[in-house]
Amino acid sequence: MKYDLIIPLLTSYIALSSTKMSYSQSIENVRPQFQNLDEWQQCDTLGPEVQIELPARDFWKNRTIDARGVFKDEAGVEKIVIQNHLGEFKEISLVINSEVEITIPLTLIPGINSWTFQVYDKLGNKSITNKSLYFGSKTAAGGSHSLTINSQDPSKLLVWGRNNLGQLGLPSGDPALTPTELSFNQPIVSVSASLSHTVALDKDGATWTWGRNRENQLGRPGPSDQAMRVDGLPQIVSIATGQRHTLALDSEGFIWAWGSNRFGQLGINSIEPTSSVPIKITSLPEIVSIAAGGSFSLAITKEGDVFSWGDNRFGQLAQPTETTYTPLKVIGIPKIISVAAGRGHSLAIASNGDAYSWGLNASGQLGLGDLNDRNQPILIESLPRIASIEASGNFSFGLSRSGEVFSWGQNFNGQLGTGSAGLEADTDEPNLISISEISDISTGLAHSIAINKEGEIFTWGLNSFGQLGNGLFGFETGTTLPDIVLIP
C-alpha cells in the first residue's frame, strides 16, 4: 500500500514528500489479553523496535538518499519525529499498526549530515536511533597529485605530489613528498582533482580552483598556483573534475560547466572549444549527482535517470552518436543512484546495489571478464551489492556495503592494490584487495587513495612525483599494496 504524503519542511534540507509506507496486522488483533489501555500501559514501558537503513556507508555523492525504516511494537507504532543536525525537525503521523515499513527520501547538504529518529508507540513509549552520512569527498587523487581534507581542522587541506602547474595550490612549483598544509578561511567540505587541476567546495557553497588553466578549467582568471574562488556561481553542493573540464551542481539541481569543450563535454550545445566562465546547462531536469570523465560527463536526475554527453568514441556515453554536445538520456538501465567516469569508461550503481559498466575496456576496466568495449550498460555480475564506485584512467574500484574493496582494470603501476604490477597484472574481473573498513576511496591516473573509519589514509600505485605521500619519489618507489600515509 502506498501513501503519498504532503509533508512541508522548514527548509529543503530534509525532504519527506512521497513517503512510502506499508503496514502489517491491525492493532486490535494484537492485544486481546488486556481489558483496557491503562492496563496495557502499566505492563508495556518499552519503545518500538527500530531499524533504520541507508543504502550507503559513510560517504555519499548523490544529493538525495532514501532512509528505509522498519518499526515494530505490539502497542502500535504511532508517529516518527525526525530531527537533523541543523535543528530542523518533522513529525510523521502513522496509521497505528504493530509493524510499519517506511521509505523516507532525504536531501543532503555538503559535509556531515546527521539525523535523530524518535519513534513513538501508542502508549507514549519511544525509541531513539541516530544516523549520519557525509555528502562529498574528503580525498581526491589527480594525475600525479593527491589531497585530503584535514580531519583535525577542515579549514586546511593536506596536499602532496606533483606541483609543476600549481595543482597543489603551493607557489614553489616543486613537488611535495609528504602531506603539506594548504589553508582556507573557512571549512572545506568536498574536494575533486583531475589530470592537473584541483577543485574544492567550502561549507557556504563557494567553489575554489587551482592548477592548470590552459583550457580554462579553473573557470576564472588570475594566478593558477593559488586557490581562488570562482565567481558567477550560485550556491554549489557538488563538484566534479574531468581531464580538462569542470562541473558544479547547484542547490537548485542545475549543472554549471566550464573548461575544455572540444568534444562537447560541457553539454551547452556549443562547438566553442572552451569556456573560461561557468555556463549553466538548461536542457536537463533536476540533477542530484554528477561525474566528469576524460572528455565526457554524466549526471543523475532526481528520478534516477542517467544523462550523458561529450566524447563517445568508446561507447562511454551509451549513445548512438560519436559525439554529443547536448545531454541525452541513457536507455536500458534501471534506476541509478551513483555514477563514476574514467578516461573512456562509465560505471553506475542501481538502487538495489547492482553495478553496471560501459565504454572502453582495453584493460578490463569494465569488469566483465573480457576486453571488449561496450556501448550500452552491462551488469557486472561478479560484484556483490555495491555502496560506492570510482573510476579514473583505465581502472575501477567498488566499495561493498560491508566495507570490502574490489578493483579491476589496468594495473601496470600497481594501482589496483592487489600486490602485483606490470604488463601482465591487468585484471578484467573484480578482485578483493587486502584493505577493509574503508569509508571513501579516490582514484588518480595511476594511483589510489582510501580513508578508513578511523580517518587513516592509505595510498598505493605510481609514485613518480611523490603522489603517495611517503617521502619518496620515482618510478621505483611505488607500492602495489595499500600503505598508510603518515600525517605530520
Q: Do 357 and 275 lie in a common domain?
A: yes
What pLDDT does 439 receive? Answer: 87
Please give the C-alpha separations between residue 195 and each of 129, 226, 421, in angstroms, as whole numbers.
Answer: 42, 17, 22
Contact between residue 318 and residue 373 where contact means Cβ atoms under 8 Å apart: no
In a domain, 453, yes or no: yes
pTM for this entry: 0.90
In a domain, 91, yes or no: yes
Query: Coil, helix or strand for 277?
Result: strand
What pLDDT does 23 receive? Answer: 39
Of 438 and 205, the one with more pLDDT? 205
Q: Do 205 and 315 lie in a common domain?
A: yes
Q: Do 272 and 378 lie in a common domain?
A: yes
End-of-domain residue from the set 110, 135, 160: 135
Mean pLDDT of 461-482: 96
Q: Do 336 and 256 lie in a common domain?
A: yes
Q: How far apart are CA 309 and CA 318, in angstroms?
A: 10
Q: What is the widest separation between alpha-carbon atoms in the chain?
A: 81
Q: How far apart are CA 1 and CA 448, in angstroms?
A: 45
End-of-domain residue from the set 135, 167, 197: 135
Confidence check: pLDDT of 86 > 60:
yes
End-of-domain residue from the set 120, 135, 150: 135
Which grid coordinates belong to 319? 549513445
Which has the closest alpha carbon to 301: 348, 356, 268? Answer: 348
Which residue segment(s) compose the domain that 445 sits in? 139-484
Q: Do 385 and 361 lie in a common domain?
A: yes
Confidence check: pLDDT of 39 > 80:
no
| 198 phi and psi angles, rounded to 5 deg | -135, 145
Please give the C-alpha separations between residue 409 and each of 233, 366, 373, in angstroms, as whole numbers.
Answer: 36, 7, 13
In a domain, 7, yes or no: no
Residue type at position 305: D
Query: Coil, helix or strand for 213?
Result: coil
Which has the closest alpha carbon to 217: 294, 147, 270, 300? Answer: 294
Mean pLDDT of the chain: 90
Q: Do 340 and 299 lie in a common domain?
A: yes
What pLDDT does 10 receive? Answer: 27
DSSP letter at 118?
E
* Buried-state track 179-193, b at ≥16 Cβ within 10 A, e below 16: bbebebeebbbbbbb
Confidence check: pLDDT of 4 > 50:
no
List, edge to edge, every strand of the sheet that includes 197-202. Answer: 188-193, 197-202, 207-211, 228-229
CATH number at residue 114: 2.60.40.10
Q: Do 107 and 244 lie in a common domain?
A: no
What pLDDT does 19 receive? Answer: 44
Contacts of 39 (CB under 8 A, 6+ apart): none
Q: Do 143 and 111 lie in a common domain?
A: no
Q: Binning pLDDT at 50, 70 and 90, where does residue 401 land?
A: confident
Confidence check: pLDDT of 248 > 50:
yes
Total domains present in the chain: 2
Which grid coordinates belong to 147? 589531497
Q: Binning pLDDT at 50, 70 and 90, where does residue 291 land?
A: very high
In a domain, 155, yes or no: yes
Of 356 and 37, the one with more pLDDT? 356
DSSP 394-432: TEEEEEETTS-EEEEE--TTSTT-SS--STT--EEEEEE
The model's pLDDT over 309-361, given as tens digits with 9 standing for 90+, comes to 999 999 999 999 999 999 999 999 999 999 999 999 999 999 999 999 999 99
The model's pLDDT over 430-459, given as tens digits with 9 standing for 90+, comes to 999 999 888 889 999 999 999 998 899 999
What pLDDT does 1 receive? Answer: 29
Confidence check: pLDDT of 196 > 80:
yes
Q: Do 129 and 235 lie in a common domain?
A: no
Q: Do strands 287-292 and 274-281 pair parallel, antiparallel, or not at all (unpaired)? A: unpaired
User: Of the ranges 101-110, 178-187, 255-264, which one carries the lowest mean pLDDT score?
Assistant: 101-110
DSSP letter at 477?
G
Q: Do 356 and 452 lie in a common domain?
A: yes
Q: How far apart are CA 135 and CA 237, in angstroms?
A: 9
CATH number at residue 388: 2.130.10.30
